[in-house]
Structure 1
Amino acid sequence: MISTLRAGLARGGIELKQTLTTPSDLSSYLIPALILFATIFFQRDAHVPGTSFSLGASTLPGVFGMGIAFGSLLTVAQLLTVEREDGTLLRAKATPNGMGGYLAGKAVLVGGMTVVSLLLQLVPGLFLVDGLRVSATGWFILLWLVPLGFLATMPLGAVLGSIFDNPRNMALVTLPIFGLVALSGIFYPITGFPGWLQAIGQVFPIYWLGLGMRSVFLPDSMALVELTHSWRHLETFGVLAIWTVVGLGLAPAVLRRMARRESGSAVAARRQRAMVTVNR
């Protein structure tokens, strides 16, 4: 077990170093950050309804939470589908304890990529956006919110990635997740939505990650525009913990089933379908 984790950590570290030294990959970190700050700039004169607080400053912490969910859900799912098609997953399956090391490596890679993206948004945001602050309590919240956010969403990303064996079908996952973001109060207070949409948004981790991040970076007075007029830290911890239990309970069985179905003929068939699609 220890050797498997050590191999996974080493693999993830190598892959993370590669992505951080590849120009095309670096652009995928920088461009979203630039788009985010451009959006906040154009929102500088807008205010959260019922307050004088900048809508842009209110949006930024929610985007931090959304970044954790996106990194864990979509990136993990995309990596699994792509590496099923190119045979990487089959090669991992063929080596002793290969699947364990593979999954540990992906956790390190995705976690590292997400943290880098967050830092590229967080550090400039603290200097460029008025109204953001982090108290000692806020740092404590971050210590449990970020790891719990990864645990609540990364297994779900693995489950989603195991469903599809064609990367071109990932739009079937991406579009609903964007819909959940719209319902989760990331870009606009959830209190502005009808009650039934509020209920749907609160079922999933994205809302709670956004709420938790807002509680870290926004003044306590901004809790008045949230549901129940509070930051609901206990509820945030509880919902994310429930999703962690669900994901960790479901993901291993789904991934084992996916690994059993991997074979040379299955990989060859997927490659053939991909070539046919490209040649059309």
Structure 2
Amino acid sequence: MNPNAVAARAGLQRARIELRQSLGSAQDLWSLLFFPIIGLIVMFMLRGNTVPGTGFSLGSQSVPGILGMTVVFNTMLALALSLTMDREDGTLLRAKATPNGMVGYLTGKVLGRAAAAVAGLLIALVPAAFLFEGLALGGVSSWLTLVWVVALGLVALLPIGAIVGSLSDNAQGVGFVSLPLMMLMGVSGVFYPIGTFPEWLQWIAQVFPVYWLGLGLRSAMLPEALAAAEVGGSWRQLETAGVLGLWAVAGCALAPVVLRRMARRESGSAVAARRQRMMRRGM
């Protein structure tokens, strides 16, 4: 049997085990649902406010963006953090020392984070469907749109997480990424339609996949009339697929190069140096 196929099968098994452990751990489950819970609570308190120019609840309008935020944190940031932690404790070095171990390791990590993100989205979607009125979740087309937007969003975001994790020497480096990411969330229509923002800010938001993931989820979950509140007055599904697709292609082309470079630099001395730095930080 092809060695890479064997390694990929081992990675699939690893992803299944890690997902089972995450969903069975109260701490991991809390970290998976922390941001959507906080976001949904805030939006539930603002459900009496309306989207400008409509009578639709601002809280309901924000639900797709909050779910998109959940996907971002549980894929990009979580994968980056996981890679840096595995580099610090030597897990990545052990994978490198095993024949085709990196193939199995990366397959498991990517599939595990993707499955965890989908699980977190679905778990948060259930209470949101009951708490917020006006969500259009009854049609087959809504669910089909939800599936392709989430799938394309995962392919666009996971390579970015792998690149960030490969370039960060420690978990603190990944933490620094979270601040600009939160700022990007604020201007990407997660909590408020960006059509009311200055035009230059709208252009910045539309460069990144966060906005397009949120827009795609809104097109799947909100009534057609709400498209009037978006930039251009429509859901722009073709543009959503195009921009997310471009990010996916660019990420999938760049991530293997960065990951190979990172793997070549892994050695016993590098792991020992990281452990010494961790011990100094603990003191």
**What range is the shorter-chain TM-score in?**
over 0.9
RMSD over aligned Cα, in angstroms?
Answer: 1.1
Unaligned runs of 5+ in 2: none
For residues 181-237 of structure 1, the C-alpha deviation after alignment (integer angstroms, 9 at most, x for no partner) is 111111011011111110010000000000000011100000000011000000000
Alpha-carbon distance, 1:27 to partner? 2.2
Q: Who is 2:134 aligned against?
A: 131
Q: Who is 1:37 aligned against?
A: 40
Please say which of residues 43-52 and 223-232 is displaced more in the overlay: 43-52
Alpha-carbon distance, 1:30 to partner? 4.2
Q: Secondary structure at the match of 1:96?
A: coil
Check the 8 A contact 1:65/1:212 in 2, yes or no: no
1: CA distance between counterparts of 2:103 and 2:76?
19
**Corresponding letter in the other structure for 2:201:** L
**Corresponding letter in the other structure for 1:131:** G
Check the 8 A contact 2:65/2:218 in 1, yes or no: yes
Q: Who is 2:206 aligned against?
A: 202
Return the match for 2:186 from 178, 182, 185: 182
Q: Who is 2:157 aligned against?
A: 153
Q: Who is 1:140 aligned against?
A: 144
The 4+ residue runs of structure 1 with deviation greater than 4 A are: none
Alpha-carbon distance, 1:179 to partner? 1.2
Alpha carbons of structure 1 residues 79 and 100: separation in structure 2 relative to 1, 3 Å: same
Q: Who is 1:7 aligned against?
A: 10
2: CA distance between counterparts of 1:179 and 1:34?
19
Return the match for 1:63 from 61, 66, 69: 66
Q: Who is 1:109 aligned against?
A: 112
Check the 8 A contact 1:223/1:230 in 2, yes or no: yes
Check the 8 A contact 1:33/1:120 in 2, yes or no: no
Q: Secondary structure at the match of 1:49?
A: coil
2: CA distance between counterparts of 1:145 and 1:41?
25
Alpha carbons of structure 1 residues 86 and 35: separation in structure 2 relative to 1, 3 Å: same
Q: Secondary structure at the match of 1:170?
A: helix
Alpha carbons of structure 1 residues 119 and 160: separation in structure 2 relative to 1, 3 Å: same
TM-score by length of 1: 0.97
1: CA distance between counterparts of 2:272 and 2:191?
43
Check the 8 A contact 1:59/1:187 in 2, yes or no: yes
Check the 8 A contact 2:35/2:70 in 1, yes or no: no
Tell me if 1:229 matches 2:207. Answer: no
Unaligned runs of 5+ in 1: none
TM-score by length of 2: 0.96
Check the 8 A contact 1:126/1:133 in 2, yes or no: no
**Corresponding letter in the other structure for 1:245:** V
1: CA distance between counterparts of 2:71 and 2:34?
17
For residues 10-54 of structure 1, the C-alpha deviation after alignment (integer angstroms, 9 at most, x for no partner) is 011111111122222222234434323321221111111111110
1: CA distance between counterparts of 2:31 and 2:170?
22
Q: Who is 2:89 aligned against?
A: 86
Q: Secondary structure at the match of 1:203?
A: coil
Identity, % of aligned positions: 53
1: CA distance between counterparts of 2:267 and 2:31?
32
Equivalenced residues, count: 279
